[in-house]
Structure 1
Amino acid sequence: MEARLDHLVCWVADPFVSLRFYERVVGLPGVRAEEFREGKAGFPSVRVAPETILDLMAYESARGVDEGTGVRGAAGHPLNHFCLAVDREEFDALQVRLKQNEVEVTGTGTNSFGARGIAPETIYFADPDGNVIEVRYYE
């Protein structure tokens, strides 16, 4: 079976704050951002790749998740981290944006294994809600 990642859901305290962070600091374009701002969408998302988005869902939305998934206790399960792969130029530009926005790089790595093999460098940082993001590039 070949599958592609469609979306991930991150629990966030304030979707507006998280949307601003992912758009301005991380550099991912908003999806349904205007509809969310106008109250026409339940939550905003950001585009990671042509076929993949990251949903930014408020903790308070967790109440209906068990019913929706059919899995008791599914709301708010923790995630260790998620990883974004970018090209080297964007990797360097992201580090500049993180510094400009006073976002601490909490960890680094070299020669780390991932979906496309070994990445020469990786960085880790947290979003406003403490969700850990790893960003890497491949040569």
Structure 2
Amino acid sequence: MDVRLDHLVCWVSDQLGSLHFYEQVIGLPGVRAEEFREGKAAFPSVRVSPDTVLDLMAYDDSRGVEEGTGVEGSAGHPVNHFCLAMGKEDFDALQVRLKQHGVEITGTGTNSFGAQGIAPETVYFPDPDGNVIEVRYYE
């Protein structure tokens, strides 16, 4: 079986602010960013890998978080965190950008198990809406 993670949806209060954070702080390229800015797309995304994007969806109490899924009471439940893996050089550069943008690293780890085995170092930090991101590298 050939299965890949296609996308994750993050509820955000400020789509442009979140797009800026994911593009400028984390360093992920925007997808449909210009179309969103021009009002031609309902939400922007950022590319994690050739196969995976994060969708930055506005949380809107008036339409409910179940819209689109059809599963009552399921959408919008908190996720503990999601993890991005990158090379060591990018990992080090990210920590510099986090500091430059005033983003606090709220947790760290060593020798943490993940999809590619054991990662020597990990860091955790929140995005502007409190979604927790873990970033790691593998040797």
Q: TM-score range by the shorter chain?
A: over 0.9
Letter in 2 for 1:31: V
Letter in 1 for 2:29: P
Identity of aligned residues (%): 78
Whole-Å separation in 2 of the counterparts to 1:124 and 1:24:
17
- Structure 1: which 5+ runs fail to align? none
Structure with bigger helix share is: 1
1:108-133 deviation digits (Å, cap 9, x = unpaired): 00000000000000000000000000
Does the CA contact (< 8 Å) of 2:59 and 2:65 recur in 1? no
Equivalent residue, structure 1, for 2:5: 5
1:73-99 deviation digits (Å, cap 9, x = unpaired): 133111110000000000000000000
- Structure 2: which 5+ runs fail to align? none
* Deviant stretches of 4+, over 2 Å: 61-67
Whole-Å separation in 2 of the counterparts to 1:130 and 1:38:
27
Alignment of 1:59-98 (within 5 A): 59-60=59-60, 63=63, 65-98=65-98
Whole-Å separation in 2 of the counterparts to 1:49 and 1:62:
33
Q: CA distance change for structure 1 residues 62 and 28 in 2, over 3 Å: closer, same or farther?
A: farther
Number of positions where the alignment pairs a residue of Structure 1 with one of Structure 2: 139
Shift of 1:2: 3.2
Whole-Å separation in 1 of the counterparts to 2:9 and 2:23:
16
Whole-Å separation in 2 of the counterparts to 1:62 and 1:82:
27
Shift of 1:135: 0.2
TM-score normalised by length of structure 2: 0.96
Alignment of 1:47-66 (within 5 A): 47-60=47-60, 63=63, 65-66=65-66
Letter in 2 for 1:56: L
TM-score normalised by length of structure 1: 0.96
2:33 is the counterpart of 1:43: no
Tell me the secondary structure at the aligned position of residue 42 of structure 1: coil
Equivalent residue, structure 2, for 1:28: 28
Equivalent residue, structure 2, for 1:109: 109
Letter in 2 for 1:23: E
Q: CA distance change for structure 1 residues 67 and 21 in 2, over 3 Å: closer, same or farther?
A: closer
Whole-Å separation in 1 of the counterparts to 2:65 and 2:58:
12
